Structures are given as C-alpha cells and as structure tokens.
Amino acid sequence: MPTGDVLALSRKDSFEVVVLPHLDAAHNLARWLMRDAEAAEDVLQDAMVRALTYFPTFKGINSRGWLLQIVRNAAYGSMKVNRGIQMVPIAISEEDHSGTVADIPSADDDPEASLIKARDRCHVRQLISALPIELRETLVLRELEELSYKEIAEVTRTPIGTVMSRLWRARRRVTQMAAEQGWKG
C-alpha cells in the first residue's frame, strides 16, 4: 500500500488504512519483547489504543516505525510496572508455536530434515529469548522487520553507532551459542 498517497488523504479517517496493516509487525515485536503470549497481547492492545489516540497528531511518513515505537514504549512501560515478574526469562516450550507462519513443514522436505529444522528453530528461538532486551529488540527489528539502521535508531531512540554495536553483539552471541551447542541451523 502506497503510504505516501494514503497520508495525503485525511489521516483521522484512515487509521485502518495507514496503521492497521502493521498489526502483525506490532504483534511480532510485542511477542519478542514480552516473551509471554498473554503479556504480549496486553502490550499490543495498549499500543494499538495509544496509536489510535495519537493518530490525529501523526505527521510522519513511516507509519510502521511509528507504530513499532509505540509498541516498544508500551512494552517497556509494562515491564516497569511488572518489574520482577515479566523480566524473568520464560522458556519457550516445543508446543508454543501459536500464531507462527513457518510451522508446517512443506511437503517436499524430507521428514527427518524438517524435524531437525523444527528443533533448531526452537533452539534459536530460546536463544534469542535469552538475549538481553536491548540486543533482542535490535536483532528482531533488523532480521525480522528488516528495518534500516536509521529506522532502528528512531524506534529504539538510540544513536546509530549503538545500534550497530548492539546488532554485532547480538549476532555474535547467536553464532557463538549455536557453535557451542553444535547446532546445524
């Protein structure tokens, strides 16, 4: 959807057109930040209501970045309130694949290979969940949301240099942990 065109129209009337298409991105970030499905939904709900409220004052062109920033603020706010509860890393069980895209192995994969893939996916997930939040959010915004350094800097309100070093540290940690455990990936 051509965001520029949409924004040329009346913003107030087109929250559905400008913001709602990024609901999945918002959910994905909330889910990775909160690590717990229920807490993530609360954050998502809170963030979407905030987005609707602030929408008349939205003047930018990057509505996805704008929404992700709101999600991040909501998540940090929630963690502050629930300090000591939500900050405990929650192990993700093998079964916890609700709402994910890549669950069903394609028919042309051989069964053993897809089993190994599924197991590794689960491991990588745990590993990312265990990353400190500032590394985790940077990695998710880059690798899953494919934001540019500048966009990540805006969403996380962090200088670009810090974004770069966090990204580097996050990636190194992932590869090193995978190497230690001998994962195939």
Among residues 167, 150, 168, 148, the alpha carbon closest in space to that of 159 is found at 150
**47, 70 contact by CB (below 8 A):** yes
Judged by CB under 8 A, does residue 181 bind other proteins?
Answer: no
Q: Which residue has the tokens 């609700």?
A: 98
Among 85, 89, 175, 181, binds other proteins (CB under 8 A): 175
Cβ neighbours around 127 below 10 Å, total = 15
By beta-carbon proximity to other proteins, the closer residue of 71 and 79 is 71
Cβ within 8 Å of residue 176, ≥6 positions away = none
DSSP assignment string, 67-95: HHHHHHHHHHHHHHHTTTTTTS--PPPTT
| Selected range binding other proteins among 68-76, 78-86, 105-113, 159-167, rule: CB under 8 A | 159-167
109 in contact with other proteins (CB under 8 A): no
Quote the least distance from Cβ 153 to other proteins, whole Å: 12
CB 152 within 8 A of CB 161: no
**Burial degree of 169 (CB within 10 A; 0-12, 13-18, 19+):** middle
- The yes or no reply on residue 103 touching other proteins (CB under 8 A) is yes
Stretch near other proteins under the rule CB under 8 A, chosen from 1-9, 66-74, 77-85, 105-113? 1-9
Q: What's the rounded Cα separation, in Å, for the pair 51 and 173?
A: 34
Among the listed ranges 64-72, 73-81, 83-91, 137-145, the one in contact with other proteins (CB under 8 A) is: 137-145
Residue 171 binds other proteins (CB under 8 A): yes
Total residues contacting other proteins (rule CB under 8 A)?
57
27-86 residues near other proteins, rule: CB under 8 A: 27-28, 31-32, 41, 44-45, 48-49, 52-53
CB nearer other proteins, residue 32 or residue 66: 32
Measure the CA–CA gap between 73 and 66, rounded to whole angstroms: 11
Where does this chain touch other proteins (CB under 8 A) — which range of 25-33, 62-70, 74-82, 105-113? 25-33
Q: Which of 6, 90, 130, 133 binds other proteins (CB under 8 A)?
A: 6
